[in-house]
């Protein structure tokens, strides 16, 4: 048990250079470390996802770094959703007892569907573990959750990757491009939501 706690503390105290060095040490495993670390963050939200994404972009390159982070984060979110849906109402009642406002959050998810999941997925410091669990416990269709997570996490990961890739050479056009991507994904998300609501 102490070794697990030591491992967690090590990750929490790492800076970007230390994390990049660690990933380079495990380069023999290919993309697996770059996928596994963001995946684990879905279950342990205290891990530094921002650093994992930044390190992936700098170790694997902007394209592959984005892809590996996106696969890991989305796979973790989907697993949390599936786990919550399998556990069902017992977990939902426990959450509502522990967090009295959880019921309102479930209602909001069910009424708005795509938008809250997409928006909360776009931001790296949102409580994604709670969003995944609440979505699984609600009556939100899996297809809606999957689409919102895939798009929202793409916005978040692309933005962090773009801004942290070769950070010493950060140019204004990269900041502008990141802002444009966020706006375009938001508009696309609204269009998809309208399509769902029309059915």
Torsion of CA 124, 130, 132, 135, to 10 degrees: -130
List the domain boundaries for the chain. 33-197
For residue 71, what pLDDT is reported? Answer: 96
Residue 163 has pLDDT above 90, yes or no: no
Q: What is the pLDDT of residues 15-59, one digit of tens each?
A: 667 777 777 777 778 889 889 989 988 888 888 888 888 888 888
CA distances from 114 to 23, 85, 102, 121, 155 (A): 35, 17, 18, 11, 15
CA distance 9 to 195: 45
pTM: 0.74
Q: Is 150 exposed, middle or buried (0-12, 13-18, 19+ CB in 10 A)?
A: middle
Q: What is the pLDDT of residues 52-106, one digit of tens each?
A: 888 888 888 889 999 999 999 999 999 999 998 888 766 667 766 766 666 676 7
């Amino acid at each position: 048990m102490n070794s697990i706690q030591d491992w967690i503390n090590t990750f929490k105290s790492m800076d970007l250079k230390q994390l990049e060095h660690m990933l380079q040490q495990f380069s023999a495993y290919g993309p697996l470390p770059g996928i596994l670390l963001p995946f684990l963050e879905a279950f342990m939200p205290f891990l530094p996802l921002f650093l994992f994404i930044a390190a992936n972009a700098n170790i694997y390159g902007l394209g592959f770094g984005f892809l590996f982070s996106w696969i890991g984060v989305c796979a973790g979110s989907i697993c949390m959703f599936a786990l919550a849906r399998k556990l069902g109402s017992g977990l939902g009642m426990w959450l509502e007892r522990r967090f009295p406002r959880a019921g309102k959050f479930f209602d909001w998810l069910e009424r708005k569907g795509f938008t809250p999941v997409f928006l909360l997925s776009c931001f790296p410091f949102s409580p994604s573990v709670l969003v995944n669990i609440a979505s699984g416990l609600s009556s939100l269709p899996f297809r809606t959750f999957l689409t919102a997570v895939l798009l929202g996490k793409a916005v978040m990961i692309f933005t962090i990757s773009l801004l942290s890739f070769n950070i010493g050479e950060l140019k204004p056009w990269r900041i502008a491009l990141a802002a444009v991507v966020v706006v375009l994904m938001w508009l696309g998300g609204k269009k998809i939501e309208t399509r769902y609501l029309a059915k």
